[in-house]
Structure 1
Amino acid sequence: MDIELAVDAMLLAEHVDHLVLFSGDGDFRALVEAVQRKGRKVSVVSTLQTQPAMVADELRRQADFFIDLATLSGKIGRDPHERTVRAVDRGPAVDDNDDED
């Protein structure tokens, strides 16, 4: 999967001004650098809030911008109470995955 992401990012870099990478994997540092050499900005979205941090320090430093997921929780996260209520409203879980085809 890492190779596919890197190939896609390099292809997309020809058509975008700014790439956003949702990963903390330090193996992507070279990819970020390669995209930057093409004159593109790169944001890395991951978190420093866990122990250990889920973002490699070298990836965070290479990025033009680092966005901690914790700062996005109010914008993209659900209210925990809402999740509980919705789960109760749905009733028992149903497995729609029919593997008998």
Structure 2
Amino acid sequence: MLRWEIHDVKFTGERRTCLARLDYGQKWIVSDVNMTTRTFRDFIRRLAQYASAQSIEVKYMYDGEQQTEQDTVLLRLENYREQRNGYDFQRVLKAYGISINSFWNTARS
């Protein structure tokens, strides 16, 4: 079962920049500017399923401050957007350090 750690994030229709990480990794995924918090939650849940993650941590990004450790890597979803098909899950997972082969095996089943 997937465990969520939510730091006062409200998954409503508002557009606020959020950060999320899987299994307490050092990389944080940053929501896209056109995403609502609800859309980001759904995106991260799907990504976590493909990655076989056990936990998701989500928090807001305040005033452009990352609110994370100094040496943290931020993966901005805007860099993984395709023109017609939404986001490139394969590239996001690869950048996060998750095996592409395990992703495709999970996606096909």
Q: TM-score, normalised by structure 2?
A: 0.26
Q: Which has the larger radius of gyration?
A: 1
Q: Which has the higher helix share?
A: 1
Q: TM-score, normalised by structure 1?
A: 0.27
Q: Which has the higher strand share?
A: 2
